[in-house]
């Protein structure tokens, strides 16, 4: 008991100071945990690879250890489906997402503007801009003045008053155009109202392709912060409160550690094969390979390469806005050019195949995003290659198959040989400047003409020409 009392006294003496400090330390850990910031990058056109990279990176963010996610952005825009996929993940993220348009000279155009509006904090560096968020299928030139989707301009009535102008551009009344614009306006206004940003200017960015510099955007309440660099951004973010899924959170960015997440091999592969030009090339190589494999069974290599390329192309088409009518026209064009090789039609099938192939290639990728279509030079090149391959090359191949055999065992049958000696059953003959052993069921004289009936190993079965004629 004495020993136990002494040990208990020593323990309490040593542990009490530590226990007295624990509540304070625990409070500090709770209020200022050792968090980090995940750094992501959106650069260039926003497509399926970008959406995959951002969504998978957001899933890696653990609210217990991640203070915020910073997306550095410089984009001219991109595909609507990819943009909406990114925005859905940002809205559902339990970790604050800060989108920062940087460095100077960068932009957040079109799809980038929507992502900026969807982010918990929108920041820009000096000398950057955002806007021009009109859906790309609509011509911005038709969405400004005299556009019934915007305010109708007034004209002078001749007496100093103003009357509403009645004339309208006939193309503006396209129901599909109005539907696209109204949908985009409702979408971006919803994002603006959710984040408490300028919804009226957001509508102008969609309807009239309006743009703003960073300074103007801050004045109009479109963005939250202008920061020179990331250090300045973190300094301004420290202590700022943001709404995360309906709950308020205070950001602590002082001394924040950063971890940059680079695109992995999957993102890079997806970025390559979802390039419309690459997907187009893979599709055609796949089709060519399978056609040659079916034409020459057992070649293996064309079929293997073709199947791999076609599967990659189909995977890319799955995430690209593909016009399947264009895909069908390409297949139909190749079929017509192949038919021209089988049954020459004085160019009718060939020209029809070329026209179908070109039209299908042009409309294959159903998007007007600049830099995200199939290059016309590539289409022209593959059109010429396909025409030469299927009309000329295959035509010559099938024509050659109808020609008589000029070499090999089959060519020897029916050929004429000359006896080099007299013999009754077996002897030697000359054929094609070669000396062969021959066997005949009739006596043969030297110099007699003999016809080859069959080949038995290295021996020719022959009959005298006269006897053949008599029979």
Same domain, residue pair 20 and 161: no
Same domain, residue pair 146 and 237: yes
Q: Decide if 422 is inside a domain.
A: yes
* Number of domain units in the chain: 4
Closest Cα to residue 95, out of 71, 120, 115? 120
Same domain, residue pair 117 and 11: no
pLDDT at 88 (0 to 100):
96
Domain membership of residue 8 as a residue range: 1-26
Same domain, residue pair 203 and 285: no
Q: Which one of 213, 231, 264 terminates a domain?
A: 264
Q: Decide if 259 is inside a domain.
A: yes
List, for residues 66-77, the tens digit of each pLDDT value.
999 999 999 998
Q: What is the pLDDT along the chain (471 residues), one digit of tens a residue?
A: 555 454 545 544 554 444 344 333 333 333 445 479 999 999 988 988 999 999 999 998 989 899 999 999 999 988 888 999 999 999 999 999 999 999 999 999 999 999 999 999 999 999 999 999 888 653 333 333 334 333 444 444 444 444 444 434 444 456 777 888 999 999 999 999 999 999 999 999 999 999 999 999 999 999 999 999 999 999 999 999 999 998 999 999 988 899 999 988 888 888 888 888 999 999 999 988 888 888 777 778 888 999 999 999 988 888 788 888 888 999 998 888 877 767 766 667 878 888 999 999 888 886 666 667 788 888 888 888 888 877 766 656 555 555 555 555 666 777 888 888 888 888 999 988 788 899 988 888 888 888 888 888 888 888 887 644 444
Residues carrying an active site annotation: 110, 179
Q: Are the C-beta atoms of residues 335 and 237 closer than 8 Å to each other? A: no
pLDDT at 344 (0 to 100):
64
Same domain, residue pair 108 and 249: yes
pLDDT at 415 (0 to 100):
83
Task: Identify the residue whose tokens are 């022959």.
Answer: 462
Q: Which one of 216, 234, 264 terminates a domain?
A: 264
Q: Decide if 269 is inside a domain.
A: no
pLDDT at 3 (0 to 100):
57
pLDDT at 9 (0 to 100):
57
pLDDT at 404 (0 to 100):
57
Q: Decide if 342 is inside a domain.
A: yes
pLDDT at 198 (0 to 100):
95
Same domain, residue pair 13 and 32: no
Other C-beta atoms lying within 10 Å of the C-beta of residue 249: 18
Contacts of 38 (CB under 8 A, 6+ apart): 57, 60, 61, 66, 68, 69, 70, 95, 258, 259, 260, 261
Same domain, residue pair 255 and 280: no
Same domain, residue pair 332 and 386: yes
Q: Decide if 157 is inside a domain.
A: yes
Same domain, residue pair 141 and 69: yes
pLDDT at 407 (0 to 100):
55
Q: Decide if 225 is inside a domain.
A: yes
Same domain, residue pair 307 and 420: no
Same domain, residue pair 51 and 97: yes
Q: Decide if 118 is inside a domain.
A: yes
Q: Decide if 37 is inside a domain.
A: yes
pTM of the model: 0.67
CATH number of residue 120's parent domain: 3.90.226.10
Same domain, residue pair 159 and 44: yes
């Amino acid at each position: 008991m004495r020993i136990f009392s002494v040990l208990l006294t020593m323990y309490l003496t040593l542990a009490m100071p530590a226990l007295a400090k624990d509540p304070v330390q625990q409070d500090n850990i709770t209020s200022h945990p050792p968090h980090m910031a995940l750094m992501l990058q959106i650069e260039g056109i926003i497509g399926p690879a970008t959406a995959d990279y951002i969504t998978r990176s957001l899933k890696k963010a653990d609210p217990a250890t991640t203070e915020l996610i910073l997306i550095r952005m410089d984009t001219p825009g991109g595909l609507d489906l990819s943009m909406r996929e990114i925005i859905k993940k940002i809205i559902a993220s339990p970790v604050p997402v800060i989108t920062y348009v940087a460095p100077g000279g960068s932009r957040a155009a079109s799809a980038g503007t929507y992502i900026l509006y969807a982010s918990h904090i929108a920041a820009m560096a000096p000398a950057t801009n955002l806007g021009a968020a009109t859906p790309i299928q609509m011509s911005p030139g038709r969405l400004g003045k005299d556009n019934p989707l915007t305010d109708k301009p007034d004209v002078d009535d001749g007496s100093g008053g103003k009357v509403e102008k009645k004339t309208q551009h006939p193309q503006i009344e396209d129901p599909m155009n109005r539907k696209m614009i109204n949908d985009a306006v409702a979408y971006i206004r919803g994002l603006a109202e959710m984040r408490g940003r300028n919804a009226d200017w957001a509508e102008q960015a969609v309807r009239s392709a309006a743009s703003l510099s960073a300074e103007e955007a801050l004045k109009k309440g479109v963005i939250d912060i202008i920061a020179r660099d990331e250090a300045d951004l973190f300094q301004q973010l420290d202590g700022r409160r943001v709404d995360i899924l309906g709950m308020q959170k205070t950001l602590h960015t002082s001394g924040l550690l950063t971890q940059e997440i680079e695109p992995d091999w999957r993102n890079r592969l997806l970025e390559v094969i979802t390039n419309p030009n690459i997907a187009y090339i893979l599709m055609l190589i796949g089709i060519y390979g399978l056609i040659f494999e079916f034409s020459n069974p057992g070649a293996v290599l064309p079929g293997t390469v073709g199947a791999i390329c076609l599967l990659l192309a189909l995977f890319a088409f799955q995430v690209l806005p593909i016009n399947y009518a264009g895909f069908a026209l390409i297949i139909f064009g190749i079929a017509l050019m192949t038919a021209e090789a089988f049954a020459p039609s004085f160019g009718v099938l060939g020209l029809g195949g070329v026209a179908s192939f070109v039209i299908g290639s042009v409309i294959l990728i159903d998007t007007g995003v600049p830099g995200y279509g199939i290059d016309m030079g590539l289409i022209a090149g593959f059109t010429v290659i396909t025409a030469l391959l299927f009309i000329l090359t295959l035509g010559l191949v099938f024509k050659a198959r109808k020609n008589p055999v000029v070499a090999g065992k089959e060519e020897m049958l029916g050929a004429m040989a000359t006896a080099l000696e007299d013999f009754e059953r077996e002897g030697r003959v000359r054929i094609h400047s070669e000396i062969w052993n021959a066997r005949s069921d009739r006596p043969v004289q030297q110099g007699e003409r003999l016809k080859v009936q069959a080949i038995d190993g290295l021996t020719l079965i022959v009959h005298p020409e006269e006897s053949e004629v008599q029979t």
